[in-house]
Amino acid sequence: MKGAAHRTGIPWRDLPRERFGPWQTVWKRHRRYAADGTWDHVLQQPLATADAAGKISWDVSVDATITRAHQHASNTTRPEQDTGAGVNHRPRGEDFVHSSLGGAREPAGHDIGRSRGGLTTKIHAVVDGNGRPLAAVVTGGQRNDGAMLIEVLAEIRVPRLGPGRPRTRPDAVLADRAYTSRINRGHLARRGITGVIPQKPDEIAARQRRGSRGGRPPGFDVVAHKGRNVVERSFALAKQWRGLATRYDKLALTYRDAVVLAACITWTKIYETCPSGPGVSCTRLNRGAPQYSGFWAIRLPWVLLPWRY
């Protein structure tokens, strides 16, 4: 895991052998963890712990960001449209088309699309009210933001520490005008989720032209919508990692799991137990790593920090 985290855009063959061993071993381990959903399960543990402690704000924000695909990532055969890469430990839909290069869970187009910026990948993310990632889906860069809202929300899955089903429904969804549509608003209403999404000017004009037949405008909380900026700050933090700011991975699975690893780091930094002396003890927020037993003793933040540079 240290070797996979250390690689920040360099070719896998350039990974220091004296420190991490054969690069083939590191690559195969990372690829296997990406395919079987291991990193998604790793993320669920700090999510469950934070939710039990009341650290998750369920007024979530949704948005997407573009990343350029390096030539090392884009020298593959791709169809015109792609189905996107999501969580890897749940069954795919019937319309999913896989790639012979990456296996049954790798999208045929490897989530590389052509947009104004050239060959790009788009990260669709949902974060809690504090800007910490809850779920992410990657698609080609040409994919419309609003069309992915339902799929991104479906990726939210926060387990309970005790008995009970995982939580999958937020209290409210904050998004920009790209997400305003009758389909999205209807989906949120059916699930009992408050939509805080402004209307486009042409939508407002079309309703006003119809007069009384245009119906009432959807509710919009201007004050609550000011908190949507946390998703933009979340992207700014994630793109401090070179391996996310530019895509170097050929496979969508491994690139998406880099996003998941960044989310793991963010969540495991919630608590830090300060050095204590006689009568001195404290807990700081947003720094350090929690202490886990067994598998969680890997202490993700310190393992993965070299990946940042």
Domain ranges for the chain: 55-241
On the 0-12 / 13-18 / 19+ scale of CB atoms within 10 A, 143 is buried
Q: How far apart are CA 227 and CA 126, in angstroms?
A: 13
The 10s digit of each residue's pLDDT in 135-150 is: 999 998 888 999 999 9
Residue of 138, 149, 114, 165 lying closest to 251 (CA atoms): 138
Residue type for position 216: R
Q: What is the DSSP string of 250-303?
A: SSHHHHHHHHHHHHHHHHHTSEEEPP--TT---EEESSS-----GGGGG-HHHH
| Dihedral of the alpha carbons of 35, 143, 151, 105, in degrees to the nearest 10 | -20
Helix (H) or strand (E) holding 230: helix 229-238
**For the chain, where are the E strands, in sequence order?**
59-69, 98-99, 103-107, 113-115, 118-127, 133-140, 172-174, 194-196, 246-247, 271-273, 283-285
pLDDT score for 100: 47
pLDDT band at 101 (very low <50, low <70, confident <90, very high): low
Which one is predicted more confidently, 296 or 224? 224
pLDDT band at 289 (very low <50, low <70, confident <90, very high): very low
Q: Among the listed ranges 2-6, 121-125, 181-185, 223-227, which one has the minimum average pLDDT value?
A: 2-6
Q: How far apart are CA 121 and CA 134, in angstroms?
A: 19
Residue with tokens 């608003």, as numbered in its chain: 185
CA 7 to chain centre: 20
Q: In 10 A of CB 75, how many CB atoms?
A: 9
pLDDT band at 21 (very low <50, low <70, confident <90, very high): confident
CATH 1.10.8 fits 55-241, yes or no: no
pLDDT score for 212: 82
Q: In 10 A of CB 33, how many CB atoms?
A: 22
- This prediction has a pTM of 0.78
